[in-house]
Structure 1
Amino acid sequence: MGPREFLIKYQYETTMSETGYTTHIEVKYRDTDSMGHVSSPVYYDYLQHAYLSYMFDLLKLPRNQKLPHIMVKTSCEYVQPAFFGDALSIESRVIKFGTKSFEMEHLMRRDDEQNSIVARGSSTHVMFDYEKNCTTVIPEDFKNQVQSYQTR
């Protein structure tokens, strides 16, 4: 499933706060495993959706257009289980720029009185030229967009 199909299939609410871009997710029954909690691969779907929502909003691109970068690495640390019906928020932000890549962090919380952490994620993305089929240097304009976006 490509990014466009993913975003069409999973329609989640997203907002931007002063501390990061927030994606709101309600855990669906199909997201759970035989133990009744969110299945580990689904956390990666949630993190991918948070990244895609952030970038499409930042770049003001239609959701069927390719992003100028690709995800090359992702990790997720599970802190506590999430269950069917839980409301979750994923706060995402770019934390580091390299020459051709940038890193993001994602913090997934349960929307409850404790605002408890469910998982922590990170991802690495590389700027990519699809026509030349190669990586490219991150444009200063992109860095400026991200910095402006995260401080508004």
Structure 2
Amino acid sequence: MPSFRTTRKVRHSAREMFDLVADTEAYPQFVPLCLDLKLRRKTEDAGVVTKVVQMTVGYKALRETFTSRVVCDPQILQILVSYVDGPFRRLENRWSFRDEGPGASIVEFEIAYEFRSPALGLLMGGVFDKAFRKFAEAFEQRADLVYGASLR
């Protein structure tokens, strides 16, 4: 099953990065392959926000829509995404954030996925793999835009 994991040190606080990743509605503006995202439901319990979102991804003529549950826990600065419905057999990802000195943090991103259809997996697998490798970079660039670029 394809998977990807990356750890990056970024020039923004863990809370800023958590807030940026939790803002799923903004994803079509900057996330690779994300063409549209609709918030279907949002609940909050003891500070933990759970969203059900429907995302449409595409590359050239290929488009797929799937639904995920996104659990954002600001107490532990973690976001868990689990698959609900669509073209996958499995899709799970996790974001973790921790401060690493003043104005810097460590962002960890993990994802594992498997397409339901082997043919779709062959068509889209390579494209998804390349896109996932750019996810962390896309969020870091978005943070620079939203919060301002820090001195390097």
Of Structure 1 and Structure 2, the greater strand share is in: 2
TM-score (norm 2): 0.32
Q: Which has the higher contact order (CA 8 A, sep 6+)?
A: 2
TM-score (norm 1): 0.32
